[in-house]
Amino acid sequence: MSLLQAAREVRERAYVPYSRFKVGAAIRGASGTIYRGCNVENVAYPEGTCAEAGAIAAMVAAGETRLTEVAVIADSPSPVPPCGGCRQKLAEFADADVPVLLATTDGAQIHTTVGDLLPGRFDAGHMART
Ligand code: THU
């Protein structure tokens, strides 16, 4: 199954009683395994989690800490880019050249990379003096 199809399918499971905005994310671990995540909202709004965060949590729980590909899909007028926090979360586990596919359910697509989504990212090298 393609990464985009995995994201499309898991999107249907999003728990979004507040925004009604379903997002699906799929990431490919370095092993080749696909991990899926959907957004999970909460009545205490800031406690909701993004689809990307769910996919990353599934990958780490399965024992992988590197990812090689990302796909995100939503029913939006244009492809939805990951929020700022999710860009940092993706960057934790990905090289800058890892491809990211952003898609709408209508078929619009944007191809970008983890590095382009978060230029000048904070990384472990900035803590080299600690
Ligand atoms: N959301 C995601 O899950 N991923 C994104 O890339 C953008 C936003 C979710 C969070 C919230 O549940 C809903 O979309 C509206 O912000």
Q: In the structure, what pLDDT confidence band is assigned to residue 123 with cuts at 50, 70 and 90?
A: confident
Give the alpha-carbon dihedral of 10, 3, 20, 86, to 10 degrees. 110
Q: What pLDDT does residue 1 have?
A: 81
What is the pLDDT of the chain when averaged over all its residues? 97
The identity of residue 94, as a single letter, is: A
Q: Region 75-87: what's the mean pLDDT?
A: 97
Q: Which residues are annotated as a binding site?
A: 39-45, 50, 83, 86
Closest to 121 measured CA to CA, from 79, 83, 89, 81: 89
Has residue 124 got a pLDDT over 90?
no
pTM of the model: 0.96
Identify the CATH assignment for 3-127 out of 3.20.170.30, 3.90.170.10, 3.40.140.10, 3.40.50.10440: 3.40.140.10
Mean predicted confidence (pLDDT) in 26-33: 98
Q: Which residues participate in the annotated binding site for Zn(2+)?
A: 50, 83, 86
Is pLDDT of 44 > 90? yes
Reading the block at residue 72, the tokens are 């995100």
- Compute how many other C-beta atoms are within 10 angstroms of the C-beta atom of residue 15: 13
Atom of ligand 1 nearest to the CA of 80: 6
Binding site membership of 14 for ligand 1 (Cβ less than 6 Å): no
Phi, psi of 56 (to 5 degrees): -65, -45
pLDDT at 91: 96
Residue-wise pLDDT for 98-112, tens only, equals 999 999 999 999 999
Domain boundaries, the chain: 3-127
The predicted structure's pLDDT at residue 32 = 98
Q: pLDDT per residue over 48-70, tens digit each?
A: 999 999 999 999 999 999 999 99
Percent of the chain whose pLDDT exceeds 90: 94
